Amino acid sequence: MSSHRFRAMGSDVHVLVAARAAHATRAVESVFSTWESALSRFRPESELSRLNARAGTPVAVGPILLAAVEAALDAARATGGLFDPTLGHELVRIGYDRSFEEIGDAPPAAGRPRGGGAWRRIVVDRSAGTVTLPAGSRLDVGGIAKGMAVDASLELLGSLGIETALVSAGGDLAVLGLPPGRRAWGVLVEGDPDRQVVPLVRGALATSGTARRRWRQGDVTRHHLVDPDTGEPAVTGLRAVTVAGSTCRAAEVGATAAFVAGPRLGPGLLERVGLAGLLVTEAGRRIRVGRWPGHSLSDAA
Amino acid sequence: MESVDARDRTRRRHTQRLGQLRRRAVLGSALGFAAFLGLAAQHAVGSTKGAPKTPSPPRAAPAAYFDQQADGFAFDDGSSAPLAPPVAQTNVS
């Protein structure tokens, strides 16, 4: 297998393909570059930044942003708003107003939290190719966009005739085919106290948690998983949630929603929609949901 | 004295007038209900007042959104040999 790594969408991207298909990794890099150009909220020239700057008026958008907005709205509806793409203003308020590497110590929060829910008032006119955000709102499609870029990359690789590949971007990964001589892709799940190796045969995995994207704002430690009800970083007693789904997009949305829902409601949410997952509490307790497997690294040793 | 013809004409005008009023009432009710339906639909999809168009994205039921066909994702059951070392790792994001 050929391994290729690059940096995009604020994450380390890892592509594994058969050695003879190494050239295809450049195609994946191109996919991520295109998606980041359209959807970064840290690039003033991105389509998303232009849309946010003109909240309250219809804005013509390209196919990638339109797809991301529609996917985010579908995700918000499907999770009853636990996944909320209109928390951009809260992320800015708590200091996440630049790429994570540049945050450092964020200045104190200005203003009070307003919470989410503005997604309900987003107007999409597909025939005109326009999106209208509610005035004063700010869209953030970071998580779902990364998952969609992984899905798009695998689709591209498949269309190029590649039968075996893994694409991982930060917490989101998906696979195509099986690695040579193996029954499954062994994937180590970050944040799992048991250091579980998940034997993924088909589909995607996504992890949402608070271990990495944390920063200081004054005396307060912040993280990026905001509770739409409070507008503040979610405090649910969970450390990380990893979810398996048929697509990276579904897994990412499931992981974020289950994290925000917390250890009491999150498992039921995942079960209802047919996802499998592993929830890890702050105390290190593991909650397995659905068809989540039971291997651990110690089994493989 | 009002003639029989005149009384008939008056009765016909009355009848026509009542008919018109009934039709208007029925139409008004229908329009009112339609307006209510429109408002309800607008509320349901979250449209803003004065928005250029009613938002049209399809409502996604949870199961439909997540689109979990039975074979959408799968794990090896691990019933035979132990797993080889991992080839990748998720990262918390």
Q: In 10 A of CB A78, how many CB atoms?
A: 24
* Average pLDDT estimate for A235-243: 95
Least confident of A10-24, A98-112, A200-214: A98-112
Sole residue written with tokens 């295109």:
A34
Q: What is the DSSP letter of A181?
A: T
Contacts of B57 in chain A (CB under 8 A): 70, 73-74, 124, 126
Structure tokens at A216: 């200081």
Please say whether the beta carbons of A231 and A222 come within 8 A.
Answer: no
B39 pLDDT above the threshold of 80: no
Q: Give me the helix-helix angle, A142-159 and A24-39, nearest 10°.
A: 150
Q: Tell me the domain boundaries of chain B.
A: 1-47
Contact B53 A128 (CB under 8 A): yes
- A203 with B74: Cβ contact below 8 A: yes
Chain A residue at shortest CA distance from B84: A300
Determine the distance in angstroms separating the CA of A107 from the nearest CA of chain B, rounded to an integer. 23
pLDDT in tens, B51-87: 334 444 444 566 677 765 556 999 998 655 555 677 7
pLDDT attached to residue B9: 64
Kindly report the backbone phi and psi dihedral angles of residue A21, in degrees, each rounded to the nearest multiple of 5, phi listed first.
Answer: -110, 25
pLDDT digits (tens, 9 = 90+) for A253-282: 999 999 999 999 999 999 999 999 999 999
> Of A4, A2, A9, A7, which is closest to residue A248 (Cα–Cα)?
A9
List the structure tokens of A231.
Answer: 């507008």
pLDDT one-digit tens code per residue, A61-119: 999 999 999 999 999 999 999 999 999 999 989 888 888 778 777 777 778 999 999 99
Residues of chain A with C-beta less than 8 angstroms from the C-beta of B52: 58, 123, 125, 130, 132
Question: Would you call B65 an interface residue with chain A, using a CB distance cutoff of 8 Å?
Answer: yes
Q: Are residues A4 and A24 in contact, defined by beta-carbon separation less than 8 angstroms?
A: no
Condensed to tens digits (0 to 9), the pLDDT of residues B23-35 reads: 444 434 433 333 3
Note the pTM of the prediction, 2 decimals.
0.80
Whether the CB of A277 is below 8 Å from some CB of chain B: the reply is: no
Beta-carbon separation of B75 and A79 below 8 A: no
Q: Which of B51, B62, B88 sits opposite A187 (nearest CB)?
A: B88
Phi, psi at residue A55, to the nearest 5°? -55, 135
Return the pLDDT at B48: 35
Task: For chain A, say whether B29 makes contact (Cβ under 8 Å).
Answer: no
Which parts of A232-281 fold into alpha helices (H)? 248-272
Interface of A with B in 136-155 (CB under 8 A): 143, 146
Between chain A and chain B, how many beta carbons pairs sit less than 8 Å apart? 203
- What residue spans of A176-219 are helical by DSSP H? none
**Do A119 and A89 contact (CB within 8 A), yes or no?**
no
Looking at the predicted complex, does its ipTM rise above 0.85? yes
Phi then psi for A264, rounded to 5 degrees? -85, -45
Q: Which residues of B touch A275 (CB under 8 A)?
A: 66, 68
Query: Which residues in chain B have their CB less than 8 angstroms from residue A243's CB?
Result: none
- Residue A103 CB coordination number (10 Å): 17
Task: Determine contact: B41 vs chain A, CB below 8 A.
Answer: no
Ordered structural domains, chain A, with CATH: 2-300 (3.10.520.10)
Of B67, B90, B93, the CB nearest to A189: B90
Q: Are A166 and B88 inside 8 Å of each other by CB?
A: yes
Asked if A72 and B57 count as a contact pair (C-beta separation under 8 A), the reply is no
Q: How far apart are the first and last CA of chain B?
A: 95
